[in-house]
């Protein structure tokens, strides 16, 4: 009974309304409306909840995935993108948007880049007016300047990927994420149900019965 009073706080003094057909009709529409709102609110919650390190499960990052892959694979980026439909950039425990188009078309990763310089040069430098030898030499100079072994060429400008390869992640939303969505949905639905009850009992019923409603 206490739970009922919490869910329907305005209906406890209006039992006589159950005898009215239009009230029963309202009850049917009320529950249909709440059920519909639950579904809509859940999808809105899922799309609006921020993704953070605590509510996602990271499968791997682009650098480690490329490092651990077969060195015979020229470009590991397409394989990385096939792992999950959730790709992002994890920085400061927050996931931010990453353009999968930029990753697929402008990024090159391999466990052994020096063995695939031609492919890397065409992807990173492009054809342009440079010859194959010039593009290869340009990449060789870039690799020679690295203080540690490079596994990825990730464009920052002009594509504004703005995320290093060790922070580009493939991930899934975990139980905590969906628990958040359910909690937010229930809270929003409860507030919505209260609004409907106020409109009905304090508005429509008051118009019909006036102050006499409490004496029924």
Q: What integer pLDDT is reported at residue 54 of this predicted model?
A: 95
pLDDT at residue number 10? 65
Q: Which residue from 33, 34, 42, 47 is spatially nearest to 185, judged by alpha carbons?
A: 42
Please work out, in degrees rounded to the nearest 5, the angle formed at the alpha carbon of residue 76 by the alpha carbons of 75 and 78.
95
> Alpha-carbon distance 20 to 68, whole Å?
71
Radius of gyration over every alpha carbon of the chain, rounded to an integer in angstroms: 29
Nearby residues of 20 by Cβ (< 8 Å), 6 or more positions away? none
Note the pLDDT of residue 99: 86
Per-residue b or e along 3-29, where b marks 16 or more CB atoms closer than 10 Å to that residue's CB: eeeeeeeebeebeebeeeeebeebeee
For residue 145, the model assigns a pLDDT of 80
- Residue 158 has a pLDDT of 52
Burial of 156 (0-12, 13-18, 19+ CB in 10 A): exposed
pTM metric for this prediction: 0.78
Residues 14 and 216: beta-carbon distance below 8 Å: yes
pLDDT of 13 = 56
Per-residue pLDDT of the chain (216 residues; tens, 9 = 90+): 576 666 676 666 566 677 787 878 888 898 999 999 999 999 999 999 999 999 999 999 999 999 999 989 999 999 999 988 899 999 999 999 988 888 888 899 999 988 888 888 887 776 666 676 777 777 888 888 877 888 988 876 555 677 889 999 999 999 999 999 999 999 999 999 999 888 887 777 777 776 655 545
């Amino acid at each position: 009974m206490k739970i009922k009073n919490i869910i329907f706080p305005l209906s406890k003094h209006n039992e006589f309304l159950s005898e009215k057909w239009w009230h029963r009709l309202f009850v049917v529409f009320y529950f249909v409306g709440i059920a519909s709102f639950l579904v809509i609110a859940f999808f809105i919650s899922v799309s609006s909840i921020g993704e953070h390190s605590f509510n996602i499960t990271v499968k791997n990052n682009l650098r480690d995935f490329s490092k651990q892959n077969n060195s015979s694979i020229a470009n590991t980026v397409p394989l990385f993108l096939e792992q999950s439909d959730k790709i992002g950039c994890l920085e400061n425990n927050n996931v931010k948007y990453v353009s999968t188009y930029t990753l697929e078309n402008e990024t090159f990763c391999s466990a052994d880049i020096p063995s695939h310089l031609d492919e890397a040069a065409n992807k990173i430098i492009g054809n342009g007016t440079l010859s194959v030898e010039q593009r290869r030499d340009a990449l060789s100079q870039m690799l020679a300047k690295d203080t540690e072994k490079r596994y990825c060429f990730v464009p920052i400008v002009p594509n504004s990927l703005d995320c290093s390869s060790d922070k580009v992640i493939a991930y899934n939303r975990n139980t905590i994420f969906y628990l958040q969505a359910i909690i937010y949905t229930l809270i929003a639905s409860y507030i919505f149900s209260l609004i409907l009850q106020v409109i009905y009992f304090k508005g429509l019923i008051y118009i019909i019965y006036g102050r006499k409603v409490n004496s029924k």
